[in-house]
């Protein structure tokens, strides 16, 4: 079972991980989306998003821009981080990930 998280702002993928207002979670088994839900983020404080995602049992994060510190925290907990995706419908991005066609460019934030 996988739990994939995407940072969301204004109902779309947030260009900046730390600037999102929600996370959309997708529970996946056998490459099929079983459940999805949109959850408001906790108050934004340094490093809280990665730790919150760890507590939620996330296995993968798909983001456009994200800083090195969150990537380090998530990677330390064996969470896969896919960075630099284009802003598209979150469900489409997850489906591309499951199909092996998700394109990333390593777009890191400079903080």
Identify the weakest region by mean pLDDT among 33-37, 79-83, 107-111.
107-111
| Look-up of token digits 């330390």 | 76
DSSP conformation letters of 6-48: EEEETTEE-SBGGG-SEEEEEEEETTEEEEEEEEEPPPP-TTH
Tell me the whole-structure pTM to 2 decimals.
0.91
How far is CA 105 from each of CA 35, 76, 99, rounded to the nearest angstrom? 28, 21, 18
**pLDDT for 101 beyond 70:** yes
Residue 8 domain-assigned (yes or no): yes
pLDDT number for residue 109: 56
CA distance 111 to 105: 17
How far is CA 92 from each of CA 3, 15, 75, 96, 110, rounded to the nearest angstrom? 15, 16, 24, 6, 27
Residue 38 domain-assigned (yes or no): yes
More confident residue, 100 or 43: 100
Residue 111 domain-assigned (yes or no): no
pLDDT number for residue 48: 85
Q: What is the mean pLDDT of residues 84-102?
A: 93
Residue 108 domain-assigned (yes or no): no
pLDDT number for residue 106: 67
Residue 110 domain-assigned (yes or no): no
Cβ burial 55-70 (10 Å sphere, 16+ → b, else e): eeebbbbbbbbbeeeb
Indicate the number of domains in the chain: 1
Q: What is the CATH number of the domain that holds 25?
A: 3.30.420.130
Q: What is the chain's length?
A: 111
Residue 77 domain-assigned (yes or no): yes
pLDDT in tens, 25-61: 999 999 999 999 999 998 765 568 999 999 999 999 9
Residue 84 domain-assigned (yes or no): yes
Q: What is the mean pLDDT of residues 59-84?
A: 94
Q: What is the mean pLDDT of residues 2-27?
A: 94
Domain of 6? 2-99
């Amino acid at each position: 079972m996988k739990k994939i998280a995407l940072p969301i702002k204004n109902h779309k993928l947030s260009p900046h991980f730390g600037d999102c207002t929600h996370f959309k979670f997708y529970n996946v088994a056998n490459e099929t989306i079983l459940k999805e839900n949109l959850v408001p983020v906790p108050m934004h404080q340094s490093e809280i998003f990665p730790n919150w995602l760890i507590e939620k049992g996330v296995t993968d994060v798909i983001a456009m821009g994200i800083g090195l510190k969150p990537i380090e925290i998530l990677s330390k907990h064996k969470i896969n981080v896919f960075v630099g995706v284009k802003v598209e419908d979150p469900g489409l991005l997850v489906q591309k990930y499951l199909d092996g066609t998700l394109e990333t460019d390593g777009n890191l934030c400079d903080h």
